[in-house]
Amino acid sequence: MKIHNSIRVEFPSRSLNESFARGVVALFMLPLDPTLEELGDMKTAVSEAVTNSIVHAYPGEVGRILVKCRIIEDDTVEVIIKDWGCGIEDVSRAREPLFTTGGDDRSGMGFSIMESFTDVLKVKSRPGKGTTVTMIKRILGKADR
């Protein structure tokens, strides 16, 4: 797999940084000339992943979140969101629509939303060690539009 460009950004798990992460990924994707819909899809997916880290990985405390982006062959963007928080006991269960550990104010749709806006969604987690979410989306070129 050929990597055309990459970035790494790390920040505290504060809610104000969710919009920062979304903006960083959107700006990083601009050389691929994405449509507004493609930008919106990835921004939404990133928002969900970062919000999950803020709300679920570090309940009641501030931790670290890492965002890695790569542009790989075939005009494809790969976004990895990693935390070192409490981890997920049962990833399969957590990926079920409407499942949440966040209380009544949470919809339990985060992973479903990420999956619907990306081509590939991978979730790896170890209790006590953290969670890594990998999202991959091919961006259509002008010739494909």
Per residue in 31-68, pLDDT tens? 999 999 999 999 999 999 999 999 889 988 999 999 99
Query: What residues have CB less than 8 Å from 127, skipping those under 6 apart?
Result: 86, 87, 88, 89
**What tokens does 26 get?**
């959107």
**Residue 12 is which amino acid?**
P
User: Domain total for the chain?
Assistant: 1
Selected catalytic residue, list 18, 48, 70, 78: 48
52 annotated active-site: yes
Active site residue 106: yes
Which residue in 64, 106, 115, 138 is the catalytic one? 106
Catalytic residue among 17, 38, 52, 70: 52
145 annotated active-site: no
Return d(Cα 14, Cα 7) in angstroms, integer: 20
Domain boundaries, position 9:
3-144
pLDDT tens sequence across 66-117: 999 999 988 999 999 999 999 987 666 665 655 555 555 545 567 788 889 9
**Sheet with strand 76-83: strands edge to edge:** 3-12, 64-72, 76-83, 130-138, 120-126
CATH of the domain at 99: 3.30.565.10
